[in-house]
Amino acid sequence: MIALATCPGGMMLHNGQEWGQYEDIWEDDSNASPADARVQARPLLWAQESDSIGQTLQARYSFLLTLRDQHPGLRTPNFYPDYYDQQWTAFSPDGYGINESLQIAIYQRWGNDDGGNLERFIVVLNFGDDTQYVNIPFSVNGNWTDLLNGNRAVAVGNYWLYSYPVPSNWGCVFWH
C-alpha cells in the first residue's frame, strides 16, 4: 500500500483490493473444475467492504491517497535509486535499495509542492513480520517528519538516522 502511494505513476488498485477481496487463481488450470478456471467472471464481494478487514484497509488506502494528494512531490517522476543492480541483496553503498535479509526497502522521492518549494521524502518499507531497527540515509540534515506514524519528528545529523524502528509490514515516510 505504501509503495503504491509513494512510487511514481498512477496508483492502480484491482477492483476489490481496497477492501481485501482475495481470489485464489490457479497457475495451471488445465485440470481445474470450471469454478476454478483462470478466466471467468469474478464479481465484487460487496459484503467484504463493510467487514472489519474491509473497513481497516479502506481507511489505510484513504489515508495514503490523502497523503499523496497533499504532497505533490510524491506524484513526480523523481525517484532514487534510479539504477539498482538486481543481483544486490543488501543496500547500495549509499544505503538505498533493498536488504533481503532484513526485508527492508529504502528509496527517496522529491519534487515541488504547490507553492514551488522543494519537498523531500525518504520512504522505508518493512516487508517482514518483525520490527526492524534500520540505519536510514537522508539527503539533507535537519528535522524530518514521519508522516505515517503520528507525524513523529526526528532530527537527522550527518545524513543518517541510526537504529530507527520500522514497524512490521508497514513503514515510514519521512518528509522534509
What's the longest Cα–Cα distance across the chain?
61
Residue 25 has a pLDDT of 76
DSSP one-letter code for 142 = E
Residue 109 has a pLDDT of 98
Question: What residues does each domain of the chain span?
Answer: 73-175
Residue 90 grid cell: 543488501
Burial of 98 (0-12, 13-18, 19+ CB in 10 A): buried
∠ at Cα 78 (80, 11), nearest 5°? Answer: 105
Burial of 149 (0-12, 13-18, 19+ CB in 10 A): middle
CATH architecture of 73-175: Sandwich (2.60)
pLDDT (tens place) for every residue of the chain, 176 residues total: 899 999 998 877 766 666 666 677 778 888 888 877 878 777 777 677 778 877 888 888 899 999 999 999 999 999 999 887 778 899 988 999 999 999 999 999 999 999 999 999 999 999 999 999 999 999 999 999 999 999 999 999 999 999 999 999 999 999 99
For residues 76 and 108, the answer to whether their CB atoms sit within 8 Å is no
Residue 134 has a pLDDT of 97
Residue 142 has a pLDDT of 97
Please tell me the pTM assigned to this model: 0.85
